[in-house]
Amino acid sequence: MSISTDILHQMEILKYAGAVDRENEILYLSSYMQRETGLPSTNRMKNVVVNYSQFCDWSHTKQTAFDLQLVKTTNHHAYYRLQKISTTTAGQMFLMTNIDDILTIDMKQNYDRLQNKKLTNNIPCGLFKAALDESMTLLYHNLYFNKTFGYDPTDAISDIQQIVLPNEFMQLLKDIRSHKITASDTYYFEEENRCIKKDGSIIWVLCRYAYEGNDIFGAVFDITDRKLIEDRLRISEQEYRIAMKQLNKTLLRYHIPTKTLSMGDPDDRVLGDYTEVKNVPECVQNMNLVAKESLEEYMRFYHAMLEGVPQGSAMFKLRVKDRDDYAWIKAHYFLTYDKEKHPVTSIISYEDYTEEYDQELSYQRWIQIFENQKANAIAYYEYDITKDQLEVMESTVIPEIPFAKRRSFTFVAQYAVNNFVYAKDRKKYLTIFDRQYLLSCYYQKKFVVTCEHRRYDVKKHIYWAKAEIQLMEDPYTKHIKGFVLIQDIDKIKCRELEVQLELESDSLTGLLNRKTIAEKVDYILQEQEEELHALIMLDLDNFKQLNDKLGHMQGDEVLRDVAQILRGLMRSHDLCARIGGDEYILFLKDICNREALRKKLQQLSDALSFNVDGITISASLGACLAPEHGDNFMTLYQKADEAMYARKRNGRHGFRIYGE
């Protein structure tokens, strides 16, 4: 094989150049190559390349030579090392090529590779290259990658699936592949997921990815500490929101640069149907969120934030979701600042203060009312029911109450009962002036308690008084308080009793009338349905004859006398009524038995037998028992009336019990 002059000329100007034939015989060596390698200058020396090749490059050299025979192109190149034939530099390695001093280039490239490897290993994050196969096989990773996951530098990590939490790997792979599908150009994206370290502990990592063909580069950072802080902040914020709810407060954020107000919790209702409102406070004028009378205060509250006032408070009426009317809102805010100390966010708390506001108004209103009424009152007390403590006492009887006991409302009430309250009204008075009773009234939303009772004045005369207790929560201490006003109502009460008596009584005899006794009997039967009671009908015998002979005036006198006799025979808790003409009804409460009824009937029959100007007046009586014969007035009335007329038919002046 020969070499053309043109090729020889091109090769001669190169520092390292040479040519071999298909059998690896040297056809040409440049003078520099001859000098450096110490090869003979003969043009034909078989197997010189093979013989002088470094042993470790033999297989590569032979394969390269074989491959060159298969390639159809005219220009080829290959790298291999030769040994110099030199006593001083024997064994020094060279690369032979037809392009340049490849030894120098290779040493530089090796140096650069070593420097790059050193640089990547010193970068404080995990760097890796991985294939996008089903396990994301690792093609390269630096030492810090091993360190991130707790592996030694010599430990092998074969793929990403080995370190990602099993239940998260498939989703991670899906997310990574989705970015390749959607990406039109090279771009970066990030993913956060949990991984398993060599010791089994779990960490959070943030990885920034970039595609290179079908592979992917990644830089991984351990963000476990950041995640822990985020969790603590999230839990802390949740706890704060819960605390706000327990205090009936709502948390809001006002972003000052954009003037955007947003809810801390979407379930809260203080923005009506909105969870975020922009351009606050100007926008609210057209949103019907703020009552007209509160608009000025609302604007002032938010303008203070925009002007940089560090904190502030206000009270205004807002329309709240699920309510038809406005609610009173007590608002507070605190500003937060950026690094340049510019206000960025305002943390606002809203508290529905409607009930408390109404209570404050009621409190002040009643204080004023009681203040006006105290001038005409017997006594005025302010009582802290929660603490059972008397705070204010204004009364003419103060000097009589032992000084050491004046702070205890319970003692003062007991002292008043024993010394000032009429005996028959003491039980009722103590029932009303009882701490537990008053607390139960308040929590049952009964805020006004009254007690009309009789009292003794300084001369021991009895008069009517009214105790009125207004119950409310102190808006400042939150204790339940009672404001007690005791007034002299004797004149008013006496007139009421007179009117009531006129309405309830028979005008001729002063006994109850038919309507009143019917109501009272029905009430007693409902309240004491298990007790034995009796109803008696009474009709005077020969009364018509007396009226015809002696006149109606005499007849009326007899009717009044009969009423007086009946009053004398009845117990204080029994009822007696005249229902018309010469008919009377008696109601005996809680009798012992039927025999007791017989005795009472006989007593009445005997007492109601007398003579008026030669005319004998007597009584026919009929009786029945409750509940045996009925459980209401009308039923008992009919049966007693039936028994009475049965007695009249069998002879007057006597009695009969229904059913006998």
Among the residue ranges 10-24, 592-606, 643-657, the one predicted with the least confidence is: 10-24
Structural contact between residues 486 and 377, judged by C-beta atoms closer than 8 angstroms: yes
In this structure, which amino acid lies at residue 627? P
Q: Does 255 reside within a domain?
A: yes
Helix axes 633-649, 514-527, angle to 10 degrees: 120
The answer for residues whose C-beta is within 8 angstroms of residue 134's C-beta and 6 or more apart is 161, 173
Asked if residue 47 and residue 27 are part of one domain, the reply reads yes
Q: Does 111 reside within a domain?
A: no
Phi, psi of 541 (to 5 degrees): -85, 140
Domain-ending residue, one of 188, 222, 256: 222
How far the first Cα of the chain sits from its last, in Å, is 161
Average pLDDT over residues 563-574: 93
Q: Does 117 reside within a domain?
A: no
Provide the token pair at 395. Answer: 């009364």
Phi, psi of 455 (to 5 degrees): -130, 165
d(CA 531, CA 625): 10
In this structure, which amino acid lies at residue 72? K
Asked if residue 307 and residue 252 are part of one domain, the reply reads yes
Look at residue 447 and tell me whether its pLDDT is greater than 60. Answer: yes
Max Cα–Cα distance, the chain, nearest Å:
190
Name all contacts of 591-594 with Cβ < 8 Å and 24+ positions apart: 591/532, 591/533, 591/534, 592/532, 593/532, 594/625, 594/657
Asked if residue 412 and residue 269 are part of one domain, the reply reads no
Please give the pLDDT value at position 245: 53
Q: Does 412 reside within a domain?
A: yes
Asked if residue 522 and residue 489 are part of one domain, the reply reads no
Among the residue ranges 63-72, 251-260, 278-287, 391-400, the one predicted with the least confidence is: 63-72
Q: Does 499 reside within a domain?
A: no
CATH code at position 29: 3.30.450.20
- Using the Cα atoms of residue 524, residue 527, residue 529 and residue 530 in order, give the sign of their dihedral: negative
Provide the token pair at 110. Answer: 């090796």
Please give the pLDDT value at position 349: 84
Peptide bond before 627: cis, by omega within 30 degrees of 0?
A: yes
Asked if residue 640 and residue 533 are part of one domain, the reply reads yes
Please give the pLDDT value at position 236: 57
Helix axes 543-550, 552-569, angle to 10 degrees: 140
Please give the pLDDT value at position 166: 92
Domain-ending residue, one of 54, 81, 106: 106
Task: Cite the DSSP H helix spans in 288-353.
Answer: 295-306
Q: Does 118 reside within a domain?
A: no
In the sheet with 260-263, reading across from the earlier edge strand, the strands are 276-277, 260-263, 249-255, 343-352, 326-337, 311-319
Asked if residue 337 and residue 366 are part of one domain, the reply reads no
Helix, strand, coil in percent for the chain, rounding step 5: 40, 30, 30
Which of 12-21, 40-49, 437-446 is the most confident on average? 437-446
DSSP letters, 408-453, are -HHHHHHHHHHHTB-GGGHHHHHHHS-HHHHHHHHHTT--EEEEEE
Q: How confident is the model at residue 398 (pLDDT cuts 50, 70, 90)?
A: low
pTM of the prediction? 0.41
Asked if residue 437 and residue 326 are part of one domain, the reply reads no
- Among 271, 267, 260, 270, which residue's Cα sits nearest to residue 242? 267
Tokens 């008919």 locate to 583
In this structure, which amino acid lies at residue 104? T
d(CA 220, CA 157): 15
Provide the token pair at 341. Answer: 């100390």
Could you give the 3-state DSSP secondary structure of residue 189? strand
Asked if residue 626 and residue 606 are part of one domain, the reply reads yes
For 143-182, the pLDDT digits (tens) are 899 999 999 988 889 999 999 999 999 999 999 888 876 6
Look at residue 422 and tell me whether its pLDDT is greater than 90. Answer: yes
Residues spanned by the domain of 592: 505-657
For 196-222, the pLDDT digits (tens) are 999 999 999 999 998 888 889 889 999
Q: 501 or 112, which is more confident? A: 501
Q: Does 500 reside within a domain?
A: no
Provide the token pair at 189. Answer: 């994206």
Asked if residue 471 and residue 410 are part of one domain, the reply reads yes
- Residue 597 sits at the vertex; the CA angle it makes with 592 and 598, to the nearest 5 degrees, is 130
Q: How confident is the model at residue 34 (pLDDT cuts 50, 70, 90)?
A: low
Name all contacts of 150-158 with Cβ < 8 Å and 24+ positions apart: 150/197, 150/198, 150/199, 150/201, 151/198, 155/198
Average pLDDT over residues 497-516: 86
Q: How confident is the model at residue 272 (pLDDT cuts 50, 70, 90)?
A: low
Q: 431 or 263, which is more confident? A: 431
Q: 427 or 253, which is more confident? A: 427
Q: What is the CA radius of gyration of the chain?
A: 57
Provide the token pair at 339. Answer: 């690094």
Q: Does 534 reside within a domain?
A: yes
Provide the token pair at 272. Answer: 């009506």
Asked if residue 531 and residue 467 are part of one domain, the reply reads no
Burial class from Cβ neighbours inside 10 Å (0-12, 13-18, 19+) for residue 292 reads exposed
Tokens 């580069």 locate to 217
Phi, psi of 593 (to 5 degrees): -165, -175
Asked if residue 328 and residue 233 are part of one domain, the reply reads yes
Q: How confident is the model at residue 348 (pLDDT cuts 50, 70, 90)?
A: confident
Asked if residue 514 and residue 641 are part of one domain, the reply reads yes
Three-state secondary structure along 567-633? Answer: HHHCCCCCEEEEEECCEEEEEECCCCCHHHHHHHHHHHHHHCCEEECCEEEEEEEEEEEECCCCCCH
Number of domains making up the chain: 5
What distances in angstroms separate CA 279 from CA 257, 258, 275, 337, 524, one per listed residue? 10, 7, 14, 20, 70
Please give the pLDDT value at position 484: 87
d(CA 328, CA 352): 6
